[in-house]
Amino acid sequence: MDVKHIFDYAREVDTIIIYNKGGNVVDNNFFYLTQVKDGMFEGSFLIVRPDGIKIVTGELEEQAARATGLEVIVINSRKDIEKALRSVLQEVEVVGLNYSGITLADYTDLVKMMPDKRFVDVSVSIGEARKIKTPDELKLLREAAKIASEAFENVTQYIKEGITETELSSRLVYEMLRLGASEPSFSTIIAFGPNSALPHYTPSNRKLKRNEYVLMDFGALYHRYCSDITRTLVFGKASEEQKEIYGIVKEAQEKAMNAIRANVNGKEIDKIARDVIDSTKYKGRFIHSLGHGVGMEVHDHPALSPGYDMPLKENMVVTVEPGIYVPNFGGVRIEDDVIVKKDGFERITKGSRELIEIS
What CATH architecture does domain 4-130 belong to? 3-Layer(aba) Sandwich (3.40)
Q: Which residues contact 202 (CB under 8 A, 6 or more apart)?
A: 187, 189
Distance CA 351, CA 310 (A): 29
Q: What one-letter code names the amino acid at 22?
A: G
Domain boundaries 135-358, CATH class: alpha beta
Q: pLDDT of 248-260, one tens digit each?
A: 999 999 999 999 9
| Spatial contact of 310 and 303, defined as CB atoms under 8 Å apart | yes
Per mean pLDDT, which range of 10-14, 62-66, 291-295 is the poorest? 10-14
Model pTM?
A: 0.94
Any residues with CB less than 8 A from the CB of 290 and at least 6 apart, and which? 256, 269, 270, 273, 274, 304, 305, 320, 321, 322
The domains of the chain are located at 4-130, 135-358
pLDDT digits (tens, 9 = 90+) for 181-228: 999 999 999 999 999 999 999 999 999 999 999 999 999 999 999 999
Say whether 5 sits in a helix, a strand or coil. Answer: helix
Same fold, 4-130 and 135-358: no
Q: What is the tens place of the pLDDT at every residue in 126-161?
A: 999 999 999 999 999 999 999 999 999 999 999 999
